[in-house]
Amino acid sequence: MSLFQKSVLNKHLKAQDDHKVLAAFEKLKVYQSKAKKIAEYNEEEYQDGFLRDVFVNVLGYTYKYDGNDTFNLLREKKNVSDSKKADGAILKDGEVFCVIELKDTTTKDLTKVETQTFGYQSGHTNCNYVIISNFDKLNFYITKTISRKFLNIISTDIKLKPYI
């Protein structure tokens, strides 16, 4: 079963470079193959690895810590209003527009860290998006709404090839 209707995938994937999409899909499968090892890591041990494996390798963000002059992904981003910090942040035009909070795979109910993460979000003026992950599930939020979308990136069988 696909996450999206075939017509939606066809419309949006046709605008993409098929080779890039297939390469990202292959990198996602590499990430999925590490599921047992990932389950052994705590949040701090795998934070950098997760940001690199998923956000850089699969999603195509540019990581500050890879020596890039221009980047749009950071880890441990402090709030402007206090010293609290999210585990990661996605930038747009140099401003945080998405905070990322990570928990390890033993955290099954990601809704329990929503308040914590929304606190990080409010610490950035132009931040309208939140991602909470336990290295398997990605919960996506827009502007502090409890209404969320989620995706299991390890335990789901994502079908892509028939649509490219």
* CA separation for the pair 10, 163 (Å, rounded): 6
Q: What is the pLDDT of residue 99?
A: 92
Q: What is the pLDDT of residue 5?
A: 63
> Looking at 56-60, 73-77, 82-86, which range is the least confident one?
82-86
Q: Give percent of the chain above pLDDT 90.
A: 42
pTM: 0.79
* CA separation for the pair 36, 31 (Å, rounded): 11
Domains of the chain with bracketed CATH: 34-151 (3.90.1570.30)
Q: What is the pLDDT of residue 162?
A: 46
pLDDT above 50 for 137: yes
pLDDT above 70 for 34: yes
CA–chain centroid gap for 117, Å, is 14
Q: Which amino acid is at 130?
A: V
